[in-house]
Amino acid sequence: MQWVVTLIEQYGLWLVFAAVLVEQLGVPIPAYPVLIVTGAVSARGDYTIPAILLVAVAACVIADLVWYRAGSRFGRRVLRIMCRISLSPDKCVRQTESIYQKWGAPSLMVAKFVPGFAAVATSMAGIVRTRLGAFVLFDAIGALLWVAVGVLVGWQFRNAINDVLDVLYQAGRVGLAVVVLAFALFVVVKAWRRYAFMRQLRMARVSVDELNRMLNDEPRPLVVDVRASPSREAGAIPGSTWVDMHAIDEGLARLPLADEVIVYCACPNEASAAVVAKRLMQQGFKRVRPLAGGIDAWVAAGYQLDEASAQGEEGQELAAVK
């Protein structure tokens, strides 16, 4: 434990940079404990708070630029990669898309304070081609606010935190074991939440080829679009009905009864579609399946899209085929 405390005192800025960079790149290692401790230790005069803020903000912006570039180059495919390395549930992707497309780059100023938003917002900025200058400006402001909270909390409660460090120092191996156990518990809880969510998504899917055949036969299935409203501007599957996820109960209640229901979205693992499909089955719909790959798979297969109405209201007619 003495080695850990000494490391924080002597290499605090490097630890801050590494912890923030790794966390912002997507590794589930919380950086806030490091920020809080270094904020408290800074009162001893080893390094200043402005130095901590500068180093941490630089790490944030560097990591976020990596995801920004990945989003601009690989598009929505990068979201699937993020969800594979993240312990956060995938449903945040749809929520992030809706928030970012509504507020744009200024939303980055608060992104790191919203669970599940920061991990995806930086890639969304690249995907929707946000100007690099605007991205860096608002991302840096958001990073500064996020870092400042952790550092200032550590500085404000420095006496209590120093007491805790002293207790851990005196506890020796026991103190180190407590720290390691706390971190392990954090990872286990996050992993269990992801496992439970992924288990919820387990159900039969329908392929885009099968859906295309079904749309050309009678009776046609009821196709439900649960994407965020701004996403529909690029087009929708012909004949689909949009349901606003922000008013999900009202939207599902207005759906007509159908023998076959197909739900699609634009998020990794068809997360939103699977959640809505489960709810429809609970409401009495007998055969409900998410579309495997969502709208991205439909487009990749070369199938046609209808132009969704600008208002994006449920039940409105779709315009002519592109």
| H helices, E strands: number in the chain | 13, 4
Q: How far is CA 46 from the centre of its chain?
A: 36
Q: How far apart are the C-alpha atoms of 81 and 73, rounded to whole Å?
A: 13
Pair (294, 222) in one structural domain: yes
Across the chain, mean pLDDT equals 78
Q: Which pLDDT band holds residue 136 (cuts at 50, 70, 90)? A: very high
Q: What is the pTM of this model?
A: 0.59
DSSP-assigned beta bridge partners for residue 291: 206
Which of 152, 174, 200 is where one domain is finished?
200
What is 75-116 written as a DSSP string? TTHHHHHHHHH--S-TTHHHHHHHHHHHH-GGGGGTGGGSTT
pLDDT at 114: 76
322 found inside a domain: no
Which of 181, 200, 219 is where one domain is finished?
200
Mean pLDDT is lowest, of 68-72, 137-141, 233-237, for 233-237
Q: Is pLDDT at 262 greater than 50 in this prediction?
A: yes
Pair (81, 183) in one structural domain: yes
Pair (93, 217) in one structural domain: no
CB 144 within 8 A of CB 52: no
Residue 156's domain spans which residues? 2-200
Which of 162, 177, 200 is where one domain is finished?
200
244 found inside a domain: yes
| Mean pLDDT within 119-130 | 84
Q: How far is CA 141 from the centre of its chain?
A: 20
CB 222 within 8 A of CB 289: no
Residue the block writes with tokens 């409401």: 283
Residue the block writes with tokens 């649960």: 226
Q: Could you give the residue ranges of the DSSP H alpha helices within 201-286?
A: 208-215, 248-253, 271-282
Pair (9, 158) in one structural domain: yes
Pair (156, 129) in one structural domain: yes
Higher pLDDT, 80 or 141: 141
Domain count, the chain: 2
Percent of the chain with pLDDT over 90: 24
Percent of the chain with pLDDT over 70: 72
307 found inside a domain: no
Sign of CA dihedral 247, 249, 254, 257: positive
Q: Which two tokens stand for residue 110?
A: 């608060």
Question: pLDDT tens, 180-223?
Answer: 677 678 667 766 766 665 565 567 899 999 999 999 988 899 99
129 found inside a domain: yes
Sign of CA dihedral 140, 141, 142, 146: positive
Pair (19, 137) in one structural domain: yes
What is 137-197 written as a DSSP string? HHHHHHHHHHHHHHHHHHHHTHHHHHHHHHHHHHHTHHHHHHHHHHHHHHHHHHHHHHHHH
Pair (17, 154) in one structural domain: yes
Q: Which pLDDT band holds residue 9 (cuts at 50, 70, 90)? A: low
CATH number at residue 234: 3.40.250.10
Instruction: Print burial letters for 93-109: b (CB count within 10 Å at least 16), e (below 16).
Output: bbbbbbbbbeeebebbb
For residue 149, give Cα distances in angstroms to 14, 122, 165, 200, 260: 19, 20, 20, 35, 51
Q: Is pLDDT at 319 greater than 70 in this prediction?
A: no
| Mean pLDDT within 98-125 | 79
Pair (195, 83) in one structural domain: yes
Q: Which pLDDT band holds residue 310 (cuts at 50, 70, 90)? A: very low
73 found inside a domain: yes
Pair (51, 184) in one structural domain: yes
Question: pLDDT tens, 71-102?
Answer: 888 877 776 666 555 545 444 455 566 667 67
215 found inside a domain: yes
Pair (273, 173) in one structural domain: no
Pair (127, 7) in one structural domain: yes
DSSP-derived 3-state class of residue 278: helix
Pair (157, 296) in one structural domain: no
The order of strands in the sheet holding 261-264 is 241-242, 222-225, 261-264, 288-290
Q: Which pLDDT band holds residue 163 (cuts at 50, 70, 90)? A: low
155 found inside a domain: yes
Q: Which pLDDT band holds residue 311 (cuts at 50, 70, 90)? A: very low
- How large is the C-alpha radius of gyration of the chain? 23
287 found inside a domain: yes
